[in-house]
Structure 1
Amino acid sequence: MEKEAYYILLYYCYAPIQDPEAYREEHHLFCIQNNIRGRIIISGEGLNGTVSGLKADCEKYMEYVQGDPRFADTEFKIDTHHSHAFSKINVRAKSEIVHSGLRHIDPKIRTGKHLEPREFKAMKDREDVVILDVRSNYEHKLGHFKNALRLDIENFREFPEKVKELEHLKGKKVLTYCTGGIKCEKASAFLLDQGFEDVYQLHGGIIKYGMEAGGEDFEGKCYVFDNRVAVEVNNVNPTVVSECHICGSRSDRMVNCANPTCNIHVPICEACGWEYEGACSVECKEDPEKRPYNGTGYYQKNINGYNPYKGFYQQPNKDRIKSALNVKSNS
């Protein structure tokens, strides 16, 4: 098998879905049949996902999504990888495709002006511009655009409250950005709703900026929500901005605390990793439940007993599930 035989797809699409639960089951079944793994959210306002699979399987998946007229304009950010980036498939129906609490905001009606990566690059250093990171603390601490305003939030749902602190920026051009673009759809729309007049968003987010504009002036790495954890973005003027949680030295080596009760995800340098046996503190190092440390700080979730068909609730789908099982057993 070739070295980079897999794709990792990052995407979202705002489009009305009348019966999210029924579509969730259909979508889930397609993923199982085509060996697609990852995390997908389905709601009445659209879909949002990061998935992985063999290149041919991902091509089928993209055709499946874009073949539905509702999602025909879905844009996929495609990266290559040597293996699956997920251990299983998880498709959920939720009230929003990204939790913001801004259910009254519809990006299909009004949102910030989309800037392609090269347009964003050309504007970001102007004196009348503010670059606004709308991601959470653990994300922008690992990496962010040079001179970006970074909000102190643990979750995106805190963003609306934080906007109250940005009143003094209403005379500026506000350029929002996030990992793949989805948070900016509602973030920029909400800024407009709150009286900001000149609002933009980086189309495709940090990931597309790295692919199409070389990642220039993105400092550090980009946090991603798959088994890779962090990815390189900048191949022009890269730097490390995150600090070891224990000693404070520069490090972008992300580690899950070896104490499963704690399990925080923070940068820990290699030296401290070995000294603290993968734990984030003395207390966690001494915890009797501490997991053995193998030098990576990554702990594969226990998927014993994992059943990809678990979660099919509706009775009419039994025949489809049996059919899918027969296909799988005969392949």
Structure 2
Amino acid sequence: MQSPDTPYVNIAAYKFISFDDTADKRAEFLDICQKNNLRGTVLLTPEGINMFLAGLRHEIDAYLAWLRADPRFADIIVKESFSEKQPFTRMLVKLKAEIITMKHPLIKPEEGRAPFVEPKDLKRWLDQGHDDNGKPVVMVDTRNGFEVDVGTFDNTVDYRIAKFTEFPQVIADHKADFDGKTVVTFCTGGIRCEKAAIHMQNIGYDSVYQLEGGILKYFEEVGGAHYNGDCFVFDYRTALSPDLKESQTAQCFACRAVVTPREQLSPDYVPGKSCPHCAPRQRAAADDVAAQA
């Protein structure tokens, strides 16, 4: 819940919908966001919209009222969390080819979504160890490896991908591993797992769901049941705990690696300069330079 100590409302939202006037709308989006003192990023694409924004309650509400006046976005679902300070440094509205790059243009979620499971139903499945048809449930993380390292569901299948464009091939290569099982794909807010589930249906998976609203919606409705760790987010907070509060996880300015609270105790962790992940490489590079001098 929001408190006086956390006045900023952070929203994450997306919708797959035909959006062919993105260039015309860009200036309007930027203007309404700036008028309401919002910061963050809005992506406008031919396949829909994606946004991460933050502002005070009345500023966010004014923006959402404006957005939902467009019939295409009247039913957009928004996930909220709260913070003590503004998590973004600037306001950007970008034109992109895809909401999230997968390089599979035949995937058009607005023409038919993959089946989804609500957070409360997923928790029930995980509690009982199978779905409502008695099939074992397997969680598949569609995020990049460094995000998974911050936290994920128990016993998750993680292919250690470095970027989402790697997912279609790796999930096709491992299709036989999921015979007779129900697969639930998930990600931070729902975008990647929605595309992933549709792709999996297209290549012959017969029992696949997306986690509706992603990890953030799961945290909001269920908490941290069956989840280990925090959820990486792409702003200064770095990660959110299952109660949607900023965690103590940090990100190294030098190498962008995620640095856990325990790793922050290392002498190699110097905020803004190094961490246990990159300090050894920095020392080796310095030694090489010294040897060549």
Is TM more than 0.5 here? yes
1:82 equivalent in structure 2: 84
Q: Which has the higher contact order (CA 8 A, sep 6+)?
A: 2
Q: CA deviation at 1:287?
A: 7.7
Partner of 1:61: 63
1-structure distance, mates of 2:142, 2:42: 21
From the superposition, tell whether residues 276 and 23 of structure 1 become closer, same or farther in structure 2 (CA, over 3 Å): same
One-letter amino acid of the counterpart of residue 222, structure 2: A
Report the aligned-residue RMSD: 2.1
Which among 270, 279, 285 is matched to residue 277 of structure 1? 270
Structure 1 residues without counterparts, runs of 5 or longer: 236-250, 289-331
Please give the alpha-carbon distance, in whole angstroms, between the structure 1 residues aligned to 2:37 and 2:76: 21
The residue aligned with 2:290 is: none
1:18 corresponding residue in structure 2: 20
Q: How does 1:235-274 map to 2 (within 5 A)?
A: 253-257=249-253, 259=254, 263-267=255-259, 269-272=263-266, 274=267
Shift of 1:66: 1.5
Provide the secondary structure at the position in 2 that maps to 1:40.
strand
Shift of 1:37: 0.5
Counting only pairs closer than 5 Å after superposition, residues 1-331 of structure 1 correspond to structure 2 as 2-124=4-126, 125-126=129-130, 128-168=136-176, 169-233=178-242, 253-257=249-253, 259=254, 263-267=255-259, 269-272=263-266, 274-278=267-271, 279=274, 280-284=278-282
Residue by residue over 1:196-235, the C-alpha shift from the partner in whole angstroms, topping out at 9 and shown as x without a partner, is 1111111111111111112211101100011111010169
CA distance in 1, matches of 2:38, 2:26: 14
**Compared CA separation, residues 271 and 286, structure 1 to 2 (3 A):** farther
Counterpart of 1:197, as a letter, is D
Alpha-carbon distance, 1:177 to partner: 0.8
Aligned pair in 2 of structure 1 residues 283, 177: CA closer, same or farther (>3 Å)? closer
Amino acid at match of 1:270: Q
1:327 is matched with: none
Q: Counterparts of 1:18 and 1:34 in 2: how far apart (Å)? A: 25
CA gap of 1:170–1:27, structure 2 versus 1, over 3 A, is farther
Identity of aligned residues (%): 31
Q: Which amino acid aligns with 1:142?
A: V
TM-score (norm 2): 0.86
Compared CA separation, residues 84 and 285, structure 1 to 2 (3 A): farther
Structure 1 counterpart of 2:207, one-letter code = D
Residues 108-160 of structure 1, C-alpha deviations (whole Å, 9 max, x = no match): 22332121110111123325221111111011111000011112211111111
**Gap change, CA 1:160 and 1:281, over 3 Å in 2:** same
Match of 1:300 in 2: none
